[in-house]
Structure 1
Amino acid sequence: MSRQRGCYDNARIELFHSVLKKELVYLEKLKTHKQAKKRFFEYITCFYNRKRIHYAIGYFTSNEYERTY
């Protein structure tokens, strides 16, 4: 963590939010809060953790990496 109000405090979550917006929010028209909540949950548990590979963890999916270590 950087010092208070440092520019790196939220860098990782901001990156995740930008990916979430590009891959889900901007591609779908979410009409209700309930629908949005359901789609976010499905995206994170079904796609992001199971199928999407990540550079920072050796091109594994989140689930593969967790099982390995």
Structure 2
Amino acid sequence: MRSVSGYTKTELIKPQRPWKTLSQVELATAEWGDWYNHRRLHGEIGHIPPVEYEANYYTALTKPQVTTTI
């Protein structure tokens, strides 16, 4: 969590200051969080958004496993 907080400050809070209201900061932070989790392409997981990777992971867990016996 600490690194996400650092990214938020570096990429969002500091470049856009001065902020006029707390509401502006809250809205911008929510929008940034949505982008970070739903649209950002993450190189370590195949250049797909984290939410897509997570959905694929849970889909793979719920598929029945095929086993063969010889």
TM-score range, shorter chain: 0.5 to 0.7
The structure showing larger relative contact order (alpha-carbon pairs under 8 Å, at least 6 residues apart) is 2
| Count, aligned residues | 56
**Structure number with higher helix proportion:** 2
Name the % identity.
30
Cα offset for 1:50? 1.9
Dislocated runs of 4+, deviation >4 Å = 55-59
Root-mean-square deviation (CA, aligned residues, Å) is 1.7
* Pairing 1:53–2:41 present: yes
Alignment gaps of 5+ in structure 1: 1-12
TM-score for both structures, normalised by structure 2: 0.64
**Residues in 2 aligned to 1:31 and 1:63: alpha-carbon distance in whole angstroms:** 32
In proportion to residue count, which structure has more strand?
A: 1
| Structure 1 residue 55, shift from structure 2 partner | 5.1
Structure 2 unpaired stretches of 5+: 58-70
Residues 6-45 of structure 1: matches in 2 within 5 Å? Answer: 13-29=1-17, 30-45=19-34
Q: TM-score, normalised by structure 1?
A: 0.65
